Chains A and B, each alone.
Chain A
């Protein structure tokens, strides 16, 4: 039974990694931009939620609801005024600029919030669980996983069922011809990054309520996000969820054998997938 329990915990943990990765996957899928500051933006959103809960005494879920539009605007502005200028044939400028943003964010947060490790308190919900047969499933991990499902389902609906989604895909296919259709790629990219930041806020809510974080927590979140995106196949959102789940299950299995092996097992699973399927499990047909 403990094996099944381990797998279930791993799948639920995978939901958190999928949330870390979904925004990264969305942005990469549309504009081929690798945002090295993604993890730091998650931490920024977590601090924003912390600020709203501690200063205004808000419930963390309500705080996330307020933080989401603020993060959307942050993402929109960041893309429109900064990152759009780095896009082009050369992949190096966006990497360098987002690396720089990552350092600025880490140091800015360090200055504002000190190096102390923080956590967003969510009261009794933290330890609440529901029993399924002989399994005890934590309510927060379950909500994290269901949120990941909802986010990825929602993003897929947006991409495949709306005019904005068509514009995302068309711009990703051919930016010049998209312009001839009246699409303004700069604004489409800004919308995509804005949306990614809404997903980042949801990820930050669960990061902040389930684990401790500090200003330098971003890069390790970025690594999990990257691994989930790459395992799933670049730019595929359901693939990203699968990637997160594989990573989560590998980590919990590793931890079940020896707690020190948790992180290592995740990285080994990532490398194994890369060896067997270098383009990930569900690569996009057109790249």
Chain B
């Protein structure tokens, strides 16, 4: 499969601090790529660099053969890459519906996602449409954040730590929406600390450690030992 979105030797910096040291990942159309790794591995930095929150050299992020590494976030979104940021980052002075509508602000043209189809995906949001977004439960807020990103009708959806801080049953409900998102033909890149969840939904997995890719492959061929080694940097020892 040819890649729709690629990072090529991606380096990212926060001032003088280097977070990524030459990361290569490739995302094909319709594929779900999971990025796993421990805290501080560079997962969020990778998402921020792809989405334009952190800029890099132009050719370090390539989308549909166009170098987009140096583009700012609104320009990246305009090309069809939307992000669900870590911690949801809903707008507190906007209602649920307004948060969803603001997701369509940078939209160009039509697509499968409208207010109506987002409400069909997450029916609880229709009931809460006029509530302040931050008055919702964590899981419902995450639904708003995903719906908000979908409202731009993205071709690539980046999801950063969407299960963080949520109860397993809530996480299951949110992941239950993924097949419908994929059915629109969108590719997904998910950053996930819950390895089991990531392996379940992904078609390709990359493991990051200290800003570098330490392992990649299809989830069905990766062994627990390989993942453990790549995740922690040490072989797995059974406890006796």
Contact surface of A with B, Cβ cutoff 8 Å? 163, 166-167, 169-170, 172-174, 176-184, 286
Contacts and interface: CB of A to CB of B under 8 A. Distances in A.
A287 to B, nearest CB: 10
A165 B187 CA distance: 32
A172 B92 CA distance: 10
A163 to B, nearest CB: 6
B94 A183 contact: no
23 contacts: A163-B105, A166-B98, A167-B102, A169-B94, A170-B91, A172-B93, A173-B91, A173-B92, A173-B94, A177-B91, A179-B52, A179-B53, A180-B51, A181-B102, A181-B106, A181-B152, A182-B77, A182-B78, A182-B106, A182-B152, A183-B74, A183-B106, A184-B72
A172 B148 CA distance: 18
Contacts, number: 67
Interface residues of B, number: 25
Interface stretch (B36-44, B82-90, B113-121): B82-90
B101 interface: yes
B73 interface: yes
B94 A180 contact: no
B51 A182 contact: no
B107 interface: yes
A184 B71 CA distance: 12
Contacts of A174: 89, 91
Contact of B93 (A177, A180, A183, A286): A286
B105 A182 contact: yes
Contacts of A177: 85, 89, 91
Nearest to A163: B105
B93 A169 contact: yes
Given A167-B102, A174-B91, 16 more contacts: A163-B105, A167-B105, A169-B91, A170-B102, A172-B93, A173-B91, A173-B92, A176-B73, A177-B91, A178-B102, A179-B74, A180-B73, A181-B77, A182-B77, A183-B74, A183-B106
B101 A184 contact: no
Contacts of A286: 92-93
| CB-based closest 4 A-B pairs | A182-B106, A179-B73, A177-B89, A173-B91
A103 to B, nearest CB: 34
Contacts of B107: 182
